[in-house]
Amino acid sequence: MDDIKKAIIPVAGLGTRFLPLTKAVPKEFFPLVDKPIIQYLIEEAKQSGISEVIFVINSTQKAIINYFKKDEALEKLLIKRKKDQLLKELKEFEQTLDGMSFEMVIQRKPLGDGNAILQAAKFIGNEPVAVLFADDVVYGEEPAISQLMDIYKTCDCPIIGLKKMPREKLPAYGVPAVEKIASRLYKIKELIEKPEISKLPSDMAVVGKYILTPDVFKYLKKAVPSKKGEVILAEVLSKMLLDGKMVYGYELKGEWLECGDKEKWLKSFIYLCLKNPRFGPELREYIKQIK
């Protein structure tokens, strides 16, 4: 069974839920405390043993290329101005990228998350791959993707990250029908996108963390687009289930911090600010003063 050394991070979406902000700033560069969402995903990937990341971008995105490129001119300027602390923080950021390589592939039209993942197929070959979506950060001791990798080693099947949710919130998510087979581990029987509350198949929501096997890419290539012209990963996995393929779900450990709309992102921002050892104590005191 192959070790997983590659990850796909689709960031080609238009971020319409964040307009007008996303007219100027891509959603994946919205901050969580003092670093952007995308950096949390890169750190998660690296901590999970991944060494190559494939970004799926749209044709207008340039910031992501510049962000992960060494900026020698900036370093010289900080040295000249004796900004030692800022230089130290920049060096620490660059160290998080040691041993990592990055590729970019363009999704020319917004044709669904399955189509976005398929654009990266030429970089993956016949290997399993991790997929991390920028809507989801999981805060905890063990990286979410690493948790899914551990399960993959035992089953050699696609793995979906899951989290329990209050029933009243589940109609806004993809919800699986599941059969529990071990602690936190489930056999996926069906995937339903945004089910009615009266027809919820479980109390689990799909998190944007996956391990995909080469079979998934074969199905993506054959997938028939929806009425909206999109290829949706959940629908492709559902087709695999109908064909008798095995797909597993794992209830992730850690706090699920969502960044898919303004309210969720703000809540995630506040949560991490208060948890941050540098900023948290002072912010807690400040909040007490607010009337």
Asked, for residue 188, whether it belongs to a domain, the answer is: yes
Of the candidates 46, 44, 97, 105, the one whose C-alpha atom is nearest the C-alpha of residue 67 is: 97
Asked, for residue 229, whether it belongs to a domain, the answer is: yes
Prediction pTM value: 0.92
CATH number at residue 70: 3.90.550.10
Q: What is the pLDDT of residue 291?
A: 65
Q: Positive or negative, the Cα torsion across 219, 224, 227, 229?
A: positive
CA–CA gap between residue 44 and residue 185 (Å, rounded)? 21
Q: What is the pLDDT of residue 80?
A: 85
* 44 contact partners, CB below 8 Å, separation of at least 6: 132, 137, 138, 143, 144, 145
- In a 3-state reduction of DSSP, which class is residue 31? strand
Q: What is the pLDDT of residue 31?
A: 94
Which residue segment(s) compose the domain that 70 sits in? Answer: 6-289
* 166 contact partners, CB below 8 Å, separation of at least 6: none
Residues in the chain: 291
Of the candidates 160, 272, 265, 144, the one whose C-alpha atom is nearest the C-alpha of residue 205 is: 160
Per-residue pLDDT of the chain (291 residues; tens, 9 = 90+): 578 999 999 998 878 889 998 888 889 999 999 999 999 999 999 999 999 999 999 887 777 878 888 888 888 888 888 888 998 888 888 888 888 889 999 998 888 999 999 999 999 988 999 999 999 999 999 999 999 999 999 988 999 999 999 999 999 999 999 999 999 999 999 999 899 998 999 999 999 999 999 999 999 999 988 888 889 999 999 999 999 999 999 999 999 999 999 999 999 999 999 999 999 999 999 999 986
Asked, for residue 256, whether it belongs to a domain, the answer is: yes
Asked, for residue 268, whether it belongs to a domain, the answer is: yes
Q: What is the pLDDT of residue 264?
A: 95
- In a 3-state reduction of DSSP, which class is residue 48? coil
Q: What is the pLDDT of residue 91?
A: 87
Q: What is the pLDDT of residue 184?
A: 94
Roughly what angle, to the nearest 10 degrees, separates helices 214-222 and 233-242?
Answer: 100
Q: How many domains does the chain have?
A: 1
- Backbone Cα Rg of the chain: 20
Asked, for residue 1, whether it belongs to a domain, the answer is: no
Of the candidates 250, 235, 251, 39, the one whose C-alpha atom is nearest the C-alpha of residue 132 is: 39
Q: What is the pLDDT of residue 78?
A: 86
Residue pair 32/21 in contact by the 8 Å Cβ criterion = no
